[in-house]
Chains A and B, each alone.
Chain A
Amino acid sequence: MKHLLLGDEAIAQGAIDAGLSGVYAYPGTPSTEITEYIQLCEKRKALSTNSVATGKIFCQWATNEKTAMEGALGMSYMGKRALVCMKHVGMNVCADAFMNAAITGVNGGLVVVAADDPSMHSSQNEQDSRFYAKFAMIPCLEPSNQQEAYDMMHYAFDLSESLRTPILLRVTTRMAHSRAIVETIDTPREQNCLSAPENTNHFILLPAFARKNYAELVESQADFVQTSEESLYNTYTKGIQTKKAFVTTGIAYNYLMEAIERLGDEVRDQSILKITQYPLPKALIEQMVVDGAEEILVLEEGQPVVEELLRGMVPSTVAVKGRLTGDLPRMGELTPDSVREALEKGKMSGESNKVVPEIVVGRPPALCQGCGHRDMYAALNEVAAEHEGSKIFGDIGCYTLGALSPFHAIHACVEMGASITMAKGAADAGQFPSFAVIGDSTFTHSGMTGLLDCVNSRANVVVLISDNLTTGMTGGQDSAGTGRLEAICLGLGVEPEHVRVVVPLPKNMEEIKQVLREEVAYNGTSVVIARRECIQTLKRHLKAKK
């Protein structure tokens, strides 16, 4: 059947059709829609009376990427197929579990999807997840289009089970968030049966066992390379003219084909090595050199991973060009234009003589009108201004927009959970007052442990949990601690009289400011929970009620 699917949805449908038993994920742009799609399918399946006799798929959001990765490893341990999804920076959060899952290997198929965000459309860096696959020494897939993304899920799970290793599937924003027609299979594969591993030593990483496992992983590398060389997803097309060659990875292939359509025969005749599976297919690269390649242009989305690796694989007489040589921009996502310019270097492209009129100004995103974060910042800014040199440490979420006009409230924002621990470090250094602003979902994701640090050293900080009862930035997914934030804070040891709750509304401004003042005056760790539902989810809830 043909469907119009986002890249993320194609991945999700591919996983379902490949006999998935569970998806484990924390929301993060551009990966969120994978899990949402599976949740929607499960919801529809539950409502449908003539449901096909397939098993249920576990699809509840995880608290963070590390718990997600571990949950998936546990499901794989029991012989079932599990999927883990996250944005690129989520890989940092789950890195401990991820790296060690490469050492344990898998039982049921285990696929980890990392959605990278080059150009940082909605992220704080543009790290390239392919480094993680190389770091962990496991195979990586990078589909070049939505159909391939769908097809590859089946392949990835099979590969994972046959090679007994987790597989990393890497996509980037334009793949994840672009729709195309995808042809799907009619009958999904049955889920695996419950079956524990025959040899549990594989999963017990005592040094003595781990050394053995690691030796096996090292030994497997040659198999992984051979699998890449034989993979249908890696293709080498020898050109009529073989001196110049292109190496593409993932969606960069599309930009090359687009440019070739426009530029014609001169480039059409060159050799193309299309890579969508790693480790790099050594034999295909050697063939390209044997065929006479003297100059290779590497087109890859993200960091110059392949460009660097190729330099160590081809003779020094072969020129390897790409982002490092300035032929392509060093940072940011590729575009059809940047690729075309690299191909016709020195020539004027002259496709457009239109410019953006000077009167067109930027329109940065902003907190919604009526959003509770606004009232929280309005009160906080006033109280902070009562002390010279107040510092407010922010975190990741909609409320990061408090850094922009009109609030200009926060003085730092680094990664999930850093607000609390940075505020603590600043207080340790002698800063007063030291505030942290963190959302409810970010708090349960990575803020709770930091709060325990605060309690243990009686850090003089005021932690504001701006609780909108949802994971707002990514579109309103369930938040792990909803309804239990006070209990969590008390459980971590915050003094009951210093766990305060306010409702961020303009009419409560005086009360909120008073509460904040009292907690600034307290020499110890305070938590002020500003709780009001996200107005986006509120609108949806009211509409659903009608």
Chain B
Amino acid sequence: MKRDIILAGVGGQGILSIATVIGDAALNEGLYLKQAEVHGMSQRGGDVQSNLRLSSDPIYSDLISKGGADIIISLEPMEALRYLPYLKEEGWIVTSSKPFVNIPNYPEIEEVIKHIEAIPHHVLLDVEALAKEAGAPLQAANMVLLGAAIPMLGINYNKIVEGVKRIFARKGEAVVAANLAAIEAGYENVNSSTLWKMYGTQW
């Protein structure tokens, strides 16, 4: 088993929480793991990314090679496109469809979506709306995205659920429940998507 994952977004959106949950689940699965993070100046509203590598064998590099990523998980659609050279030919993009506009020259969102839809294996979802529907707060939108990426992760759904329970335990039962609802919403959404039905079984 080997998965190279790029997590992308804008500083403060919560990509590191996604990494923390996956990391916890992977650790409990007995997998090897490496996760390079971005700290410091770039966190101030700039583009951020994290390279997350999981494998049943020891991993050397902390960074993913170009053309080596199995999945790009992004909390922002334009940010997903920034790492395209790293995506494998048959890799998946799982991204929020909602733009985070904090720059004056943000491109037309229709153009951004068009580029994502040009990637054969993609999941586009409005994570904030799905979080709301599931009765979870806005802060749990990142967990909707994680839920949607579970089928590609190679880690069992229940293992991720256990990870969420452990990671958020200190914040109380209500927070755990909200995050679990968000995970489920994302997971259900991708399982009912046409593209996943078409390609997912080959994956």
Bound Cα distance A354, B116 (Å) = 12
Q: What are 14 sample pairs from A and B whose C-beta atoms fall under 8 A apart?
A: A29-B39, A33-B39, A122-B39, A177-B39, A181-B27, A261-B60, A336-B63, A336-B64, A351-B66, A356-B85, A361-B78, A366-B44, A368-B44, A401-B41
**Do the beta carbons of A356 and B84 come within 8 Å of each other?**
yes
Q: Kindly report which residue of chain A lies nearest to residue B19, judged by CB atoms.
A: A179
Residues on B with beta carbons closer than 8 Å to the beta carbon of A354: 67, 84-85, 87
**Do the beta carbons of A351 and B65 come within 8 Å of each other?**
yes
Residue interface bits A32-48, CB-to-B below 8 A is 1, else 0: 11000000000000000
**Do the beta carbons of B36 and A29 come within 8 Å of each other?**
no
CB contact list, A246-266 vs B, under 8 A = 251, 253-255, 257-258, 261-262
Q: Kindly report which residue of chain B lies nearest to residue A355, judged by CB atoms.
A: B85
The verdict on A180 contacting chain B, using a C-beta distance below 8 Å, is: yes
Instruction: Find B62's partner among A4, A121, A178, A368 (CB 8 Å cutoff).
Output: A178
Q: Given A335-B63, A337-B66, are A363 and B10 also a contact pair (CB < 8 Å)?
A: yes
**Do the beta carbons of B107 and A352 come within 8 Å of each other?**
no
Instruction: Find B81's partner among A175, A258, A337, A357 (CB 8 Å cutoff).
Output: A357
- Stretch of B98-106, B126-134, B140-148 with 4 or more beta carbons under 8 angstroms from chain A: B98-106
Residues on A with beta carbons closer than 8 Å to the beta carbon of B107: 359-361
**Do the beta carbons of A365 and B41 come within 8 Å of each other?**
yes
Q: Given A359-B107, A360-B82, A361-B105, are A4 and B33 also a contact pair (CB < 8 Å)?
A: yes
The verdict on A541 contacting chain B, using a C-beta distance below 8 Å, is: no
Residue interface bits A498-519, CB-to-B below 8 A is 1, else 0: 0000000000000000000000
Task: Point out which of B36, B43, B46, B68 has the most chain A C-beta atoms below 10 A from its C-beta.
Answer: B36
Q: Given A363-B102, A363-B103, A398-B44, are A4 and B24 also a contact pair (CB < 8 Å)?
A: yes
Residues on B with beta carbons closer than 8 Å to the beta carbon of A251: 62
Instruction: Find A352's partner among B40, B61, B67 (CB 8 Å cutoff).
Output: B67
Instruction: Find A365's partner among B43, B65, B79 (CB 8 Å cutoff).
Output: B43
Residues on A with beta carbons closer than 8 Å to the beta carbon of B95: none
**Do the beta carbons of B40 and A121 come within 8 Å of each other?**
yes
Bound Cα distance A74, B172 (Å) = 45
The verdict on B86 contacting chain A, using a C-beta distance below 8 Å, is: yes
The verdict on A340 contacting chain B, using a C-beta distance below 8 Å, is: yes
The verdict on A6 contacting chain B, using a C-beta distance below 8 Å, is: yes
Bound Cα distance A398, B68 (Å) = 34
A354 to chain B, nearest CB (A): 4
Residues on A with beta carbons closer than 8 Å to the beta carbon of B11: 365
Bound Cα distance A475, B12 (Å) = 12
The verdict on B168 contacting chain A, using a C-beta distance below 8 Å, is: no
Residue interface bits A360-383, CB-to-B below 8 A is 1, else 0: 111111111000000000000000
The verdict on A99 contacting chain B, using a C-beta distance below 8 Å, is: no
15 more contacts with CB within 8 A, not counting A356-B84, A398-B41, are A121-B38, A122-B42, A174-B63, A177-B37, A179-B35, A180-B62, A181-B27, A254-B60, A255-B60, A261-B60, A351-B65, A352-B85, A354-B67, A365-B45, A398-B44
Instruction: Find A336's partner among B41, B65, B82, B112 (CB 8 Å cutoff).
Output: B65
Residues on B with beta carbons closer than 8 Å to the beta carbon of A177: 36-39
The verdict on A473 contacting chain B, using a C-beta distance below 8 Å, is: yes
Chain A contact residue count (CB 8 A cutoff): 52
**Do the beta carbons of A258 and B65 come within 8 Å of each other?**
yes
The verdict on B32 contacting chain A, using a C-beta distance below 8 Å, is: yes
B202 to chain A, nearest CB (A): 20
Q: Given A254-B60, A363-B47, A365-B44, are A174 and B36 also a contact pair (CB < 8 Å)?
A: yes
Bound Cα distance A33, B38 (Å) = 12
A460 to chain B, nearest CB (A): 32
**Do the beta carbons of B111 and A359 come within 8 Å of each other?**
yes
Q: Kindly report which residue of chain B lies nearest to residue A256, judged by CB atoms.
A: B60
B92 to chain A, nearest CB (A): 13
Instruction: Find A357's partner among B65, B105, B115 (CB 8 Å cutoff).
Output: B115
Q: Kindly report which residue of chain B lies nearest to residue A260, judged by CB atoms.
A: B60
**Do the beta carbons of B63 and A121 come within 8 Å of each other?**
no
The verdict on A30 contacting chain B, using a C-beta distance below 8 Å, is: yes
B20 to chain A, nearest CB (A): 9
The verdict on B34 contacting chain A, using a C-beta distance below 8 Å, is: yes
**Do the beta carbons of B44 and A401 come within 8 Å of each other?**
yes
Bound Cα distance A340, B65 (Å) = 9
Bound Cα distance A245, B60 (Å) = 19
Instruction: Find B34's partner among A30, A180, A352, A365 (CB 8 Å cutoff).
Output: A180
Q: Kindly report which residue of chain A lies nearest to residue B62, judged by CB atoms.
A: A178
Bound Cα distance A405, B105 (Å) = 12
The verdict on A474 contacting chain B, using a C-beta distance below 8 Å, is: yes
Residues on B with beta carbons closer than 8 Å to the beta carbon of A30: 39-40
Bound Cα distance A145, B24 (Å) = 20
Residues on A with beta carbons closer than 8 Å to the beta carbon of B89: 353
**Do the beta carbons of B34 and A351 come within 8 Å of each other?**
no
Q: Kindly report which residue of chain B lies nearest to residue A261, judged by CB atoms.
A: B60
The verdict on A540 contacting chain B, using a C-beta distance below 8 Å, is: no
**Do the beta carbons of B23 and A4 come within 8 Å of each other?**
yes
Bound Cα distance A356, B85 (Å) = 6
Instruction: Find A181's partner among B33, B44, B63, B64 (CB 8 Å cutoff).
Output: B33
Residues on B with beta carbons closer than 8 Å to the beta carbon of A362: 47, 103
**Do the beta carbons of A351 and B46 come within 8 Å of each other?**
no
Residues on B with beta carbons closer than 8 Å to the beta carbon of A351: 65-68
Instruction: Find A29's partner among B40, B45, B78, B108 (CB 8 Å cutoff).
Output: B40
Bound Cα distance A158, B132 (Å) = 56
Q: Kindly report which residue of chain B lies nearest to residue A364, judged by CB atoms.
A: B46
Q: Kindly report which residue of chain B lies nearest to residue A400, judged by CB atoms.
A: B41
Bound Cα distance A134, B87 (Å) = 41
A85 to chain B, nearest CB (A): 14
Residues on B with beta carbons closer than 8 Å to the beta carbon of A347: none
Task: Point out which of A33, A178, A368 has the most chain B C-beta atoms below 10 A from its C-beta.
Answer: A178
Residue interface bits A96-138, CB-to-B below 8 A is 1, else 0: 0000000000000000000000000110000000000000000
Bound Cα distance A509, B106 (Å) = 30
**Do the beta carbons of A122 and B27 come within 8 Å of each other?**
no
A204 to chain B, nearest CB (A): 40
B36 to chain A, nearest CB (A): 4
Residues on B with beta carbons closer than 8 Å to the beta carbon of A257: 60-61
**Do the beta carbons of B102 and A366 come within 8 Å of each other?**
yes
**Do the beta carbons of A122 and B10 come within 8 Å of each other?**
no
The verdict on A2 contacting chain B, using a C-beta distance below 8 Å, is: yes
Instruction: Find B41's partner among A121, A175, A363, A405 (CB 8 Å cutoff).
Output: A121
Residues on B with beta carbons closer than 8 Å to the beta carbon of A258: 60-61, 65
